[in-house]
Chain A
């Protein structure tokens, strides 16, 4: 949008480009990233069943009973809070990089790569911090 002058067009029209580009994406990410997290967690749990079913002949009933006993509401809440933090990181890093693009289509590629690398790093870091906080506060079921 920077390269095709749409951001300039917004500025000239007196509209805030940050509000205009970031807000809808952030809102969308706040809904989709938690959904995606739930989906991937569910498939992880199901993959665990497949592994145990083939390697140890564990029955479906016993597996899910154990899972249901192990997982507490706190874990789910923890997961959702973290996914919201990650959504914030992904959208803000992406938009910041996008708005800072200078030059032609090549520059767009460069900043896409930069955005992916930076947000991946920040997510790992945020995950570390969040896990440490939850552990130290004694909220984690691991502690």
Chain B
């Protein structure tokens, strides 16, 4: 009983139930259950090939799970009509890993695109919204540049500005700080926190950058081989005893498999040196 009352006080925006998916014989997602509550920042951790990106694709309705359901704002996107899916997506802003900006358009036009295509706003209003979003991400002077002219960090910021354009309830960020230097990455973390604290946007971040994850997260979830092995408040998560989580958090490498004839090779290399 206490469990259900606790669930009622926390309002789930996204709720994933028993989602499974495999490519051929390989199980990419294995009955994943995950809730994202309104107004929180949930960080989804996981190594390469853990199924993070696949889970994200399912959340956005770009792929359909074999079993299970994904409910966003009360709509099961695995079973709804295309128009319902469209309505759900309208409330979600996504910043893809590489930015996914359109290279043939300036940054301004990239941010303006969803506004022009999906709203009836007048041109001056669109300009104003674009300008405000670019200021929010710190790209006010870069509006007329084209994506190939931007640095990695600027591209991620521009993608964030575009994701924010339609004033979303939920922001989904795929590897927002991957490949950025620590200073730019820290700036992006502050920006994510700012968006969450001042606009109350629910944010789901997919990453493998530990430091940034623990800085911004309210809760942390970890995927390993398609299975969700832990979801917890970040303080508790840091103390989790699961061997794979320990290995991930303490940055221990996997045991290297021994190569056949290794002794021979090392002996040969040693011999050739002398």
Q: How far is the CA of A12 from the CA of B89 in the complex (A)?
A: 6
Is B118 within 8 A of A9, CB to CB?
A: no
Within 8 A of A (CB), among B95-125: 96-98, 100-102, 113-114, 117-118
- The listed residue (B90, B96, B113) touching A5 by CB distance below 8 A is B96
Number of interface residues of A (CB under 8 A): 10
Within 8 A of B (CB), among A1-37: 4-6, 8-9, 11-15
Is A13 within 8 A of B96, CB to CB?
A: no
Q: How far is the CA of A15 from the CA of B100 in the complex (A)?
A: 14
Is B90 within 8 A of A14, CB to CB?
A: yes
Is B100 within 8 A of A9, CB to CB?
A: yes
- The listed residue (A5, A12, A14, A15) touching B97 by CB distance below 8 A is A5
Is A8 within 8 A of B113, CB to CB?
A: no
Q: How far is the CA of A11 from the CA of B61 in the complex (A)?
A: 9
CB contacts (< 8 Å) of A8 on chain B: these are 57, 60, 62, 96, 100
CB contacts (< 8 Å) of B114 on chain A: these are 13-15
Q: How far is the CA of A9 from the CA of B96 in the complex (A)?
A: 8
Number of interface residues of B (CB under 8 A): 18
CB contacts (< 8 Å) of B57 on chain A: these are 8
Is A5 within 8 A of B100, CB to CB?
A: yes
In whole Å, how far is B58's beta carbon from the nearest beta carbon of chain A?
A: 12
Within 8 A of A (CB), among B9-61: 57, 60
In whole Å, how far is B191's beta carbon from the nearest beta carbon of chain A?
A: 20
CB contacts (< 8 Å) of A12 on chain B: these are 60, 62, 89, 92, 94
Q: How far is the CA of A14 from the CA of B119 in the complex (A)?
A: 12
Within 8 A of A (CB), among B59-96: 60, 62, 86, 89-90, 92, 94, 96
In whole Å, how far is A22's beta carbon from the nearest beta carbon of chain B?
A: 15
Q: How far is the CA of A51 from the CA of B271 in the complex (A)?
A: 72
Is A4 within 8 A of B100, CB to CB?
A: yes
Within 8 A of A (CB), among B237-263: none
CB contacts (< 8 Å) of B89 on chain A: these are 12-14
- From A8, A11, A14, A15, name the one whose CB has the most chain B CB atoms within 10 angstroms: A14
Q: How far is the CA of A15 from the CA of B117 in the complex (A)?
A: 8
CB contacts (< 8 Å) of A4 on chain B: these are 98, 100
CB contacts (< 8 Å) of B60 on chain A: these are 8, 11-12
Within 8 A of B (CB), among A67-86: none
- From B57, B92, B100, B117, name the one whose CB has the most chain A CB atoms within 10 angstroms: B100
Is A6 within 8 A of B102, CB to CB?
A: yes
CB contacts (< 8 Å) of B86 on chain A: these are 14
In whole Å, how far is A10's beta carbon from the nearest beta carbon of chain B?
A: 9
Q: How far is the CA of A3 from the CA of B101 in the complex (A)?
A: 12
In whole Å, how far is B249's beta carbon from the nearest beta carbon of chain A?
A: 29
Q: How far is the CA of A6 from the CA of B86 in the complex (A)?
A: 17
CB contacts (< 8 Å) of B113 on chain A: these are 13, 15
Further pairs besides A12-B89, A13-B118, A14-B114: 19, Cβ < 8 Å: A4-B100, A5-B97, A5-B98, A5-B100, A6-B101, A6-B102, A8-B57, A8-B60, A8-B62, A8-B96, A8-B100, A9-B94, A12-B92, A13-B113, A14-B86, A14-B89, A15-B114, A15-B117, A15-B118
Q: Which 4 A-B pairs have the closest CB atoms?
A: A9-B100, A5-B100, A5-B96, A6-B100
